[in-house]
């Protein structure tokens, strides 16, 4: 499972012109599910996202998590994170999980984050979405449950 985590001042997602999720201070998280992913991958991503210390403390040091600052999370499923462009210029999505499996693990990841007391807003699975954000920093973190990077 892969995730792109951005610290945001604000972020929102819309489908067909209607806002489906919107947050203020917090994290915008794009989540891609791979074929071989299991509940362990969902747990890894949920735990990392919840505990990432990317918010400044009173000394201006990134030492606080989204939980510490009482921020929210905007979660968006994004299979294109699994795009492989090592051969040619058109991404191959061979490693992306099928829709049913991907949605199940995406949903589980969101549920695990919410179980930690973090408010989560969402996009719409398999919809074409318009995402807006104000990246705060900018701070962007890449997560990979298989620890490739």
- Tell how strand 2-15 and strand 18-23 pair up: antiparallel
Question: Known catalytic residue: 126?
Answer: no
Q: Which of 38, 80, 126, 134 is catalytic?
A: 80
CA distance 88 to 132: 30
Q: CB neighbours of 3 closer than 8 A, spacing ≥ 6?
A: 29, 30, 31, 32, 45, 48, 49, 81, 142, 143
Q: Which of 6, 55, 78, 109 is catalytic?
A: 78
Burial (Cβ within 10 Å: 0-12, 13-18, ≥19) of residue 148 = exposed
Question: Known catalytic residue: 78?
Answer: yes
Bridge partners of 15, per DSSP, are 18
Residue from 37, 25, 53, 19 nearest 130 by CA = 19
Q: Which of 6, 55, 79, 109 is catalytic?
A: 79
Q: CB neighbours of 43 closer than 8 A, spacing ≥ 6?
A: 112
Question: Known catalytic residue: 79?
Answer: yes
Active site residues: 78-80
């Amino acid at each position: 499972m892969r995730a792109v985590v951005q610290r945001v001042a604000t972020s929102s997602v819309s489908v067909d012109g209607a806002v489906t999720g919107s947050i203020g201070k917090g994290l915008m998280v794009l989540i891609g599910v791979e074929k071989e992913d299991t509940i362990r991958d969902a747990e890894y991503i949920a735990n990392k996202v919840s505990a990432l210390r990317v918010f400044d403390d009173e000394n201006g040091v990134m030492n606080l998590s989204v939980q510490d600052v009482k921020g929210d999370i905007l979660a968006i499923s994004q299979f294109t994170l699994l795009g492989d462009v090592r051969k040619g210029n058109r991404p191959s999505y061979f490693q992306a999980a099928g829709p049913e499996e991907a949605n199940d693990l995406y949903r589980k990841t969101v549920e695990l984050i919410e179980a930690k007391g973090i408010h989560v807003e969402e996009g719409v699975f398999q919809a074409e979405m318009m995402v807006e954000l104000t990246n705060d920093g900018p701070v962007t973190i890449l997560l990979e449950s298989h620890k490739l990077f």
